[in-house]
Amino acid sequence: MLILLPPSETKRSGGSRRPVDLEGLALPALREQRAQVLAALEELATDAETAARVLKLGPSQLGEIDDNARVTSSPTMAAVDRYTGVLYDALGAASLDSAARAWLARRVLIHSAPLGPVGALDRIPAYRLSAGTSLPGIPPLRRLWAAPVSHALEAADPGFVLDLRSEAYAALGPVPASVASAYVRVVAESEGGAVRALNHFNKHANGALVRRLAVQRPRLSSRAGFVRWADAAGIRVREGSAGELELFA
């Protein structure tokens, strides 16, 4: 089983001095697209006013332009440690033991806007770029990433994909129809039935789910196997719309 996670807008600073190694990231077939986006980020950063407008940065966020200016040479850290926020706080990767982190390395890809899906322990720099941003000089991110990411996921032959990405990031690389998958929507119980969970609870539920998987490390290779494991683990999951599963927060 392969799990796809979204990134987070918030990130830790710092890391080791080793810059990003495009040859060493998961799904190496995406190297060309990664290089294009990183070069566009660095070029945009040469004009701070334009960068602030394109990236929709407020006055307190202007320092993130500097992150983009040195995105190919700045310190790196494991992607699962770089990202912060509700999902990654619930996942709590830093508190996992080495076996659980090794499981994350094998089973989890985090879909970043500048690098596409990267391994949970792939080392990445700090950056500022969202899925919906249009960078000058290159095609829109959806057009740039969608087909190459889909092809790369198919070539990886993951068996079964559990897609926990937001819709914006799923659009940057749909799981191909040839790969068994389930898109997960987090829902909450209401008097009228299940309703989509608010953003905070959505992210927390996904992070907690991945942590539980990393700790227990079940051998799952199908949608049905995941549903059976979730039921045994006391995690409420049910069939949703075609191709989707509903996870109750």
For 211-234, what is each residue's pLDDT tens digit? 999 999 999 999 999 999 999 999
Q: Find all residues with CB under 8 Å of 219, minimum gap 6, and list them.
A: none
* Distance between CA atoms of residues 205 and 212, nearest Å: 11
Q: Is 234 left (phi over 0), alpha (psi -120 to 50) or beta?
A: left
Burial label, 101 (beta-carbon count in 10 A; 0-12, 13-18, 19+): middle
Mean pLDDT of 118-135: 98
- The pTM of this model reads 0.95
Give the number of domains in the chain: 1
* Distance between CA atoms of residues 13 and 126, nearest Å: 6
For 155-181, what is each residue's pLDDT tens digit? 999 999 999 999 999 999 999 999 999
Is residue 140 predicted with pLDDT exceeding 90?
Answer: yes
Domain of 181, in residue numbers: 2-248
* Distance between CA atoms of residues 67 and 35, nearest Å: 16
For 45-83, what is each residue's pLDDT tens digit? 999 999 999 999 999 999 999 999 999 999 999 999 999
